[in-house]
């Protein structure tokens, strides 16, 4: 159920399907399909209604009807096995309300029966260009510094600090964060070379950046203020702006 942005009283019901999901937190290339079941439901006129989701052998039937009415409006969604891609032995049924929505659910029922599930066509991911994302800050209040990065395809990463490599080539998995420790006293200039081993484009990708060492009055206790300045030292008398403090805050410190 989503709210009509042009109305404070009208909502629409949709069947929302995600295909190509390989990780619980989501992944690149997954596809979201929305099918309208009923539009322009006026909550002042119809504050209560009924909904049904029925899993069939080859998909789902999603239905809506006003309370105390059997005038069901239904839409079919293909892909009965979509809900078992992450967990082939279990799937979960429930209700949730996001953001500021408040809902009341009553008379909920769940009926099960044996299934003869038909396999869905294999989902084909659209090709995406390899992306190297540097996640670590370009400012640090400590000599201890972690180079953090992630990529959308598996591959290998070589990190150099100045002219010295930070260890051998590192293996990176698609979507996972790689963290490599460094000492800024050894240099502030970094270069990352990413070589994808998946996808169509396996050419090297390169990123370079420099880290600025920032001096704080007290690296364990940093003060911030809406009137703070990026050039301040983070003391109570000279607080930092919030965004600046987040970028330089050492591990274990307190804002």
- 3-class secondary-structure state, position 82: helix
Question: 254 is in which domain, residue-wise?
Answer: 215-255
Q: Measured in whole angstroms, how far is the alpha carbon of residue 243 from the centre of its chain? A: 21
Whether 232 and 195 map to the same domain: the answer is no
Whether 226 and 171 map to the same domain: the answer is no
Of residues 245 and 159, which shows the higher confidence score? 159
**pTM over the 0.75 mark:** no
24, part of any domain: yes
Tokens 């309208």 sit at which residue? 36
Tens-place pLDDT, residues 30-89:
889 999 999 999 999 999 999 999 999 999 999 999 999 999 999 999 999 988 888 888
Tens-place pLDDT, residues 184-235:
999 999 999 999 999 889 999 999 999 999 999 998 999 999 999 989 999 9
Whether 204 and 255 map to the same domain: the answer is no
101, part of any domain: no
Distance of alpha carbon 242 from alpha carbon 228, whole angstroms? 8
> Tell me, what CATH number does 165's domain have?
2.60.40.10
Give every CB contact of residue 113 below 8 A, 6+ residues apart in sequence: none
Whether 31 and 68 map to the same domain: the answer is yes
Whether 9 and 24 map to the same domain: the answer is yes
- 3-class secondary-structure state, position 16: strand
- Total domains in the chain come to 3
């Amino acid at each position: 159920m989503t709210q009509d942005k042009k109305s404070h009283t009208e909502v629409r019901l949709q069947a929302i399907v995600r295909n190509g999901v390989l990780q619980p937190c989501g992944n690149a290339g997954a596809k979201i399909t929305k099918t309208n079941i009923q539009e322009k439901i006026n909550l002042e006129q119809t504050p209560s209604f009924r909904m049904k989701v029925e899993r069939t052998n080859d998909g789902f039937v999603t239905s809506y009807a006003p309370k105390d009415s059997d005038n069901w409006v239904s839409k079919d969604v293909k892909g009965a096995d979509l809900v078992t891609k992450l967990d082939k032995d279990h799937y979960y049924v429930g209700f949730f309300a996001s953001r500021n929505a408040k809902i009341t659910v009553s008379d909920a029922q769940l009926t099960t029966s044996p299934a003869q599930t038909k396999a869905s066509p294999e989902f084909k991911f659209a090709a995406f260009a390899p992306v190297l994302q540097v996640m670590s800050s370009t400012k640090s209040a400590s000599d201890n510094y972690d180079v953090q990065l992630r990529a959308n395809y598996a591959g290998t990463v070589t990190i150099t600090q100045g002219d010295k490599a930070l260890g051998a080539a590192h293996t990176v998995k698609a979507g996972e964060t790689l963290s490599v420790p460094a000492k800024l006293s050894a240099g502030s200039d970094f270069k990352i070379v990413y070589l994808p081993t998946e996808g169509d484009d396996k050419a090297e990708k390169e990123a370079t950046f420099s880290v600025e060492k920032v001096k704080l009055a007290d690296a364990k206790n940093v003060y911030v203020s809406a009137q703070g300045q990026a050039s301040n030292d983070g003391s109570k008398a000279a607080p930092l702006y919030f965004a600046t403090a987040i970028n330089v805050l050492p591990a274990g410190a307190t804002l």
